[in-house]
Amino acid sequence: MSAAVPVLINAAGGTAAAKGDGLGAEVRAAFDQAGLEIHLHLIDSSDIRAAAERHAHLPLVVVGGGDGTLGSAAAGLMKGKAALGILPLGTRNHLARELNVPLDLPGAATLIAARPTRRIDIGQVNGHLFLNNASIGLYPEMVRLRDERQMQHGLPKWLAAIPASWAALKRLRHHRLRLHGPDGEQEVITPMLFVGNNHYALAAGQIGTRDALDDGLLSVFAVAARRRRALLGFALRTLTGRADPQEDFAALGDVHALAVSGRSRQIDIALDGEVRALRMPLEFSIQPGALTVVAPNAD
């Protein structure tokens, strides 16, 4: 008889929090239906990495939460052999969507029980990893203000993001950064620098999506310097899939590694939507095939 599979859930995140007291019963029912015995842990987001590390020697660890939670868990699993099973219980679930993991609990549990696996790349900066992307400038400021409003007023994340986005634009500042890549050095002045784990599409209708999660490249671009009103126009074009790489971005390219320096000794950076303060310079790299995930095979 096989041992029960550990299921680690960030009980306060996204969809998990919305399910309230019924979350545990719903998760158990989904895995019972899938024929998989589990050991359920409803824990705080700050404990996810340590809990994943404690179970990293096992063949499979299931994690429930959003992209930030999955990133924390992946950092803990890196020291072992466990495959990461995903329960999409966050707000947006970008990684689950791109891996074609079902977004409903019964569907995700059935996939995990079948255990198809594939290996994906991991992005890293100054020893901290990211599964989707990292950014500095406008977006980390918006996330920080959004989280403050959530704490103060008990708002849902999507609702707290509206005043936070406006407040971040009012405080808009441009960063003078020096990018050191394989092809040399480039200086940019930008309100936001974005580094993606694998190539991010910019074509109309595909903004913010990735064709692959194992291409071994970092996708780098900087939003062109502009005033607040023009930046709002850029945001609208991006949301509608009409961003123009030549007009909207000051730097653009795919690299294996990147160093970012600037005038500050420390800078806020959002890693899969979780903000950290890191010392400059920022040293970005990619680890090809470093994480095993339970997911359908890539086409």
Is residue 265 packed enough to be buried (19+ CB in 10 Å), middle (13-18) or exposed (0-12)? exposed
- Domain boundary assignment for the chain: 5-115, 130-289
pLDDT, one tens digit per residue, over 214-246 is: 999 999 988 876 676 676 666 555 544 566 666
- CA neighbor of 164 nearest in space, from 151, 180, 183: 151
Rounded to the nearest integer, the mean pLDDT of the chain is: 87
Binned at pLDDT 50, 70 and 90, residue 127 comes out as very high
HSE toward the beta carbon, residue 77, CA cutoff 13 A: 25
Neighbouring-strand partners of residue 48: none
pLDDT score recorded for residue 62: 98
pLDDT score recorded for residue 244: 66
pTM value is 0.87
Q: What is the distance between the alpha carbons of residues 253 and 263, in angstroms, rounded to a whole number?
A: 23
Q: What is the distance between the alpha carbons of residues 261 and 187, in angstroms, rounded to a whole number?
A: 10
Q: Quick count: other Cβ atoms within 10 Å of Cβ 158?
A: 11
Structure tokens belonging to residue 36 = 């998989």
Give the three-state DSSP class for 257. strand
Q: What is the distance between the alpha carbons of residues 98 and 64, in angstroms, rounded to a whole number?
A: 16
- CA neighbor of 126 nearest in space, from 290, 288, 287, 282: 282
Q: What is the distance between the alpha carbons of residues 134 and 37, in angstroms, rounded to a whole number?
A: 36
Q: What is the distance between the alpha carbons of residues 181 and 197, in angstroms, rounded to a whole number?
A: 16
pLDDT score recorded for residue 238: 55
Second-level CATH architecture of 130-289: Sandwich (2.60)
pLDDT score recorded for residue 208: 66
pLDDT at 266 over 90: yes
Q: Which residues contact 249 (CB under 8 A, 6 or more apart)?
A: 202, 221, 222, 223, 224, 243
Q: Which residues contact 66 (CB under 8 A, 6 or more apart)?
A: 10, 13, 14, 89, 90, 91, 92, 93, 273
Structure letter (DSSP) for residue 281: S
Q: What are phi and psi of 239, to 5 degrees?
A: -65, -30
> Mean pLDDT highest for which of 10-14, 130-134, 242-246?
130-134
Tokens 């991006």 belong to which residue? 238
pLDDT score recorded for residue 167: 72
Q: Does the domain at residues 5-115 carry the CATH identifier 3.40.50.10330?
A: yes
Listed in sequence order, the DSSP H helices in 35-115 are 48-54, 67-77, 94-98, 105-114
Binned at pLDDT 50, 70 and 90, residue 15 comes out as confident
